[in-house]
Structure 1
Amino acid sequence: MIKNIKWLFIASLSLVACNNNEDETVADVPVTAGSANFSKYVALGNSITAGFTDGALFKAGQQNSYAKLMADQFALVGGGEFKIPYMNDNIGGLMFGTTQIQSTRLIFNGSAPVNLAATPTTQLLPVLTGGFNNFGVPGAKSFHLLAPGYGNPAGLMTSPQTANPYFVRFASSATTSVLQDAMAQQPTFFSLWIGNNDVLGYAMSGGDGSNPITPATGAPGVGFDGTYNALVNTLTSGGAKGVVANIPYVSTIPFFTTVPYNPLTSAVLGNGNTTVGDATISQLNTQLYGPLKQALTAFGAGDRIELLSTSKANPVLIKDESLTDLSAQLTAAFTPSMGAANAAFYGAVFGKARQAKATDLVLLTTKNAIGAAPTASDSGLGFAPPSPLNKFGITYPLQDKHILIPTEIAELKTATDAYNATIKAAADAKVLAFVDVNAVMQQLANGGVRFDNYHMTASFVQGGAFGLDGVHLTARANAYVANKFLEAINATYGSTFKFYKPQSFPMSYPANLP
């Protein structure tokens, strides 16, 4: 049924190669380094720093990362070579022998993002050698940058894994850490943008507990503050200067803002036929929503469920673990009409159920779950529920992993605010350039930004800022973010770096990217 909720179409494809397009408004200003030394630049971070986009790491994305764009500017004032652990192709994905362990990049097929149908040529092993400057590692949390063995191939076989395949590809040894390898380059300047995954992992799992938020406080390797200060103290220990960036709220990225909380219209429920949809709504109200509403009202919880409407969009049905469990009460209420076994089943399913509200955030990946049949592994009951309770979000509540409820959103905001306070304090203490990426992303999410005649927003696909995975930046947004970094560097160190024209960079990559 959810297939009737249409994806947005890509507005255009820009195929311009664009690493050296600079803003003509500052073209006549000589480029100078100011008080900083850019001869040896290293970039530390996660997937965004690496150039990951459209669900994969591939060469074009790496070439258009904000870190690479900054390095190109630093080269104008004596910056040395910026070595990147390039993937072999623009297919994306990663192979471990004959086994594919990472997916190919996403492309838009005219109606939805799909994985490129190709076999990756990038192998996990043998390890790349020669020393690198871009230490962006997709999937890394803050404490991973300190972890010895994060690049040890043997750590990929443990449960849980203690290594990261992307760092395995270019770690200098099996016992080194990301920070150790970065410091081995004897950096004179660094960028550090880390912490996104410390909250994002929790958010992308719907706050189901499988990927916890990193504690805001604790020792290095445990708490964010201890870890972050250890990173900054080490990076500046040799006199290097740098730029750091804070963490955006997850509510500003399209992975959490694209799928509406109320997608269930008559057209959707009728697979495009509103007459069928109207009849379906009438049947659902008679057989499920009406009885639930009546029983819950008797227990003082009638606001959890409203009857479906044929004239407006209706919310999906979800499980809210923060609600009082009314399974016993519902079981007792339904036993006379259903019998004890069926009543107990309905009580277990709907004891913490409610309809979603505008204050909930539905995950982008949940789009494919709405209307699908729950399985034994994802129903929360240990078995696949029978008809008619076999349609997620319609007759069966979406589970914890599918949605973020207000209490989880508040947890994420509290952690993000704490992380950002730590980042700003470290920047102030070490007199480092600071980029308020959180403010940048909020602006993109709330009206967007304009340059020349182009309007860039956080809208999924069409907005131009985020790739097809709904999380990572497009090349165009990387150029915009690079400008923000360069702006902060200019303000802090008296540099006069030029700015890129974001509109000259692609907002998407074609399927046949060479």
Structure 2
Amino acid sequence: MKIMNIKHIAFLAVLIGFNACNEPEDVLPEDEMEVFVEKPELTAGSANFSTYVSVGNSLTAGYTDNALFKAGQENSMPNILATKFALVGGGSFSQPLTNDNIGGLLAGGAQIPGFNPRLVFDGDGPAPLADVIGPVTPTTDIVLNNPTGPFNNMGVPGAKSFHLIAPGYGNIANLPAKLANPYFIRMTGATPDASVLELAMDQSPTFFTLWAGNNDVLGYATSGGDGSNLITEQTTFDFAINTLVSTLTTGGAQGVMANIPYVNTIPHFTTVPYNPLDPTNPDFGPQIPTLNTIFGTLNQIYTALGQPERNVVFSETEASAVVIRDENLTDISEQIINALNANPGFPIFVQQFGLPAEAAPLVANLLGTTYGQTRQANADDLFVLPSLSIIGTVNEAAVAALVGQNLPLELAGQFSVEGVSYPLEDKWVLLPEEQDEIKLATDTFNATIASAATGAGLAFVDANALMQTLASGGVTYGDYTLTASLVRGGAFSLDGVHLTGKGYAVMANEFMKAIDVTYGSNFEASGSLVNLEDFPTNYSPLLQ
């Protein structure tokens, strides 16, 4: 993990046996001497940290490297804050720690699908832990070994705003219907139907942090806007946020809120280029002439239909863009099929692939249904990080379907290469129209958050602005400059969404600075912000 280290050269004069005989040249000039200014003693101002409770989602829980595990939780933003609050009257801070540093969850000894061990750095990029050190088995089991609360850290990975006020969200009986969250099941204990908010209020907090709403847009974004995880409706979001704030402050509790970052500022959506197809790749380069022959036939149809922007051309000298399915394009499958079948030369074209001329209608149908709503990607498209491991691979389901249509296995494989001969599905890419939906929702959600914070007199952290700074050039704290670059930037963990230990430390500092502004504390002025040197950017694969 490469972090830019900024060296500060301090000049310090140690004067031993100083007397009146010293000449002027014996001491350093005044402008080269380090000036020591005594800092004020740390004070909480009007803030009451005696019972601190954090409410939120994975960013509150300490989720990192695509998993929740003990070391990540210990470096969670709320836990970092609690150590500082303890210096000015803050009490103990309990977290629902997992059983290991493997990550992933079990239910009665069986792996819960989608709740996998953490990612690690394998020298090239993110990789599953098992790929680096061999088979691993999580030991955190939501049936057999849940911890005992109450918990001050009420961060629940995956929770949307309305989940935080929903009864039964932590009841294992609701898990088969996907109406419960395995992480929250670990936290509810003898009150399985209690909501996150209720368990937070049971502790009578005097101070709280609330960073919620990210998943209300993030779920849609990470699924490529394919419709499997919708953006929360505005009225539902408003009700949830206002309920959280009004309830948390009923006992006079103070607090700080943060807003939602734009998805195009985080490396999960900015790491994979739209044009990753390298002509020097031996698996791709030799196929370019054949691919251009096939697409050349289609390009003539696109042009004839007045849609040359759909043309697909792979370069033999430069990186080429992947082929994607764009749901916003008019489906011209029938026009393609009809044009190919009407072309007297098409049966001859088909024969060059080792097929009989009689297969022409089959191939025409294949090309029409496959490329009736496609185009090459451009710089306005954003690709989700997991697409990096998909592009260029063979889609086995597509192969099976083509073989089922009597296409030879080898040819079926050639027509099933993700992003090349087989268009990338919607779940792998955020189209400009989908990005606009997300931005609009983020802006309106953030307006709700800011209004709720202002109305309740709470401190406010503009996490969106901070992430934009990370993405545009970086944030410097002491000797470290962190950026939004995956792996090397230091701020984001290997999943491209969640922060590293250093990233959470930066957020903790931002929260303390906001508390200073609203409640008159002096974490920053007293030199009590956390030192990023004390926090990691990655975790060893051997850490278990």
Q: Which residue of 1 aligns with 2:289?
A: 282
| Residue identity in the other structure for 1:388 | Q
The one-letter amino acid paired with 1:191 is: T
Amino acid at match of 2:240: T
Q: Which letter does structure 2 place at the counterpart of 1:105? A: R
Residue 204 of structure 1 corresponds to 222
1:326 matched to 2:332: yes
Counterpart-to-counterpart distance in 1, 2:267 and 2:499: 11
CA distance in 2, matches of 1:167, 1:266: 48
| SS of equivalent to 1:92 | coil
Deviation at 1:504, TM superposition (A): 3.2
Aligned to 2:512: 486
Instruction: Report the counterpart of residue 19 of structure 1 in structure 2.
Output: none
Instruction: Determine the structure 2 residue equivalent to 1:428.
Output: 454
In the other structure, the counterpart of 2:538 is 508
User: Which one has the largest radius of gyration?
Assistant: 2
User: Which string of whole-angstrom CA distances, capped at 9 and with x for unpartnered residues, describes residues 24-53 of structure 1?
Assistant: x99832111111211011000101100010
Match of 1:175 among 186, 193, 196: 193
Question: Which amino acid is the alignment partner of residue 499 of structure 1?
Answer: L
1:327-375 per-residue CA deviation (whole Å, 9 max, x = no partner) reads 1111111113153332122111111100001000011101111111224
Q: Match for residue 128 of structure 2? A: 115
Equivalent residue number for residue 11 of structure 2: none
Does the CA contact (< 8 Å) of 1:142 and 1:228 recur in 2?
A: yes
Shift of residue 454, structure 1, vs aligned partner: 2.5
Aligned pair count reads 482
Alpha-carbon distance in 2 for matches of 1:308, 1:430:
57
SS at match of 1:170: helix
What's the secondary structure of 2:435's corresponding residue?
A: helix
Q: Is the 8 A contact 1:254 1:466 kept in 2?
A: yes
1:230 pairs with one of 243, 248, 251: 243
- For 1:244, the aligned partner's letter is M
- Identify which of 336, 342, 345 aligns with 2:366: 345
Which residue number corresponds to residue 17 of structure 1?
A: none
Q: Where does residue 309 of structure 2 map in the other structure?
A: 303
Shift of 1:513: 2.1
Change (3 A) 1:440 1:319: same
Partners of 2:399 and 2:413 within 8 A in 1:
no
Structure 1 residue 503: Cα displacement: 3.5
Identity %: 52
Q: Aligned to 1:318, what secondary structure does the other structure show?
A: strand
- Residues 317 and 354 of structure 1 are in contact (CA less than 8 Å); yes or no, is this contact kept in structure 2? yes
User: For the residues of structure 2 that align with 1:492 and 1:395, how far apart are their CA atoms?
Assistant: 57
Does 2:77 correspond to 1:29? no
Distance 1:414 1:147, change over 3 A: same
Aligned to 2:274: 261
- Higher mean C-alpha deviation, range 124-133 or range 291-300: 124-133
Q: TM-score, normalised by structure 2?
A: 0.85
| Alpha-carbon distance, 1:311 to partner | 1.9
Answer whether contact 1:377 1:383 (CA < 8 A) is retained.
no
Alpha-carbon distance in 2 for matches of 1:346, 1:81: 64
Q: In structure 2, how many angstroms separate the alpha carbons of the residues matched to 1:209 and 1:27?
A: 57
Q: What's the counterpart of residue 181 of structure 2?
A: 164
Q: Per the alignment, in what secondary structure is the counterpart of residue 492 of structure 1?
A: helix
Aligned to 2:205: 187
Q: What is the CA deviation profile of residues 124-152 of structure 1, one whole-angstrom value per residue up to 9, with x for unaligned ones?
A: 13443231100000110000001101110
- 1:330 to 1:459, Cα distance in 2 relative to 1, 3 A: same
Partner of 1:5 in structure 2? none
| Residues 125, 487 of structure 2: 8 Å contact kept | no
Query: Is 2:389 the counterpart of 1:368?
Result: yes
Per-residue CA deviation, residues 348-405 of structure 1 (Å, 9 max, x unaligned), is 1111100001000011101111111224389999979824311010111101111010
Offset of residue 189 of structure 1: 0.6
C-alpha deviation, 1:13, in angstroms: 13
How far apart, CA to CA, are the structure 2 residues paired with 1:513 and 1:45? 27
Is the 1:39–1:79 Cα contact (8 Å) retained in structure 2?
yes
Other structure's SS at 1:76 match: helix
Offset from partner CA, 1:256-288 (integer Å, 9 cap, x none): 1101000112123x24xxxx72x42222112x2
Give me the TM-score of the superposition, normalised by structure 1.
Answer: 0.90
User: Which residue identity is paired with 2:123?
Assistant: G
